[in-house]
Amino acid sequence: MLTSLPLPALIPGPLAAEEAGVAPATIRKWVQLGHLKAVGKSGRAQLFRLEDVFAAERLARRRLPRPAGA
C-alpha cells in the first residue's frame, strides 16, 4: 500500500519575498541568477516551494561580504 506524502506548499513570488524578508525584486534576481527555480505558475505569477525559497536565502546570506573585524 502506498502512503501519500504531503505535497509541498507552493507560494507566489510576493509571498515568497515576504517569508524570506526580502523585496520581490530579490526573488526575481535569485531566479535570474539560478539560485531559485519556479515550479509552477498561477496566471502570470510564478510559484515557488517554500523550502526552495529558504535554501536560496541561505545561499545569498553565505555570499554576502563580511564586515571588517567580524
Model pTM above 0.85? no
For the chain, give the percent of residues with pLDDT over 70.
80
pLDDT in tens, 26-59: 999 999 999 999 999 999 999 999 999 999 999 8
Backbone angles phi, psi at 39, to 5 degrees: -110, 0
Residue whose C-alpha cell reads 498561477 in the numeric block: 42
**DSSP result, 11-69:** EEHHHHHHHHTS-HHHHHHHHHHTS----EEETTEEEEEHHHHHHHHHHHHHHSPPPTT
In this predicted structure, the answer to whether residue 5 has a pLDDT above a threshold of 90 is no
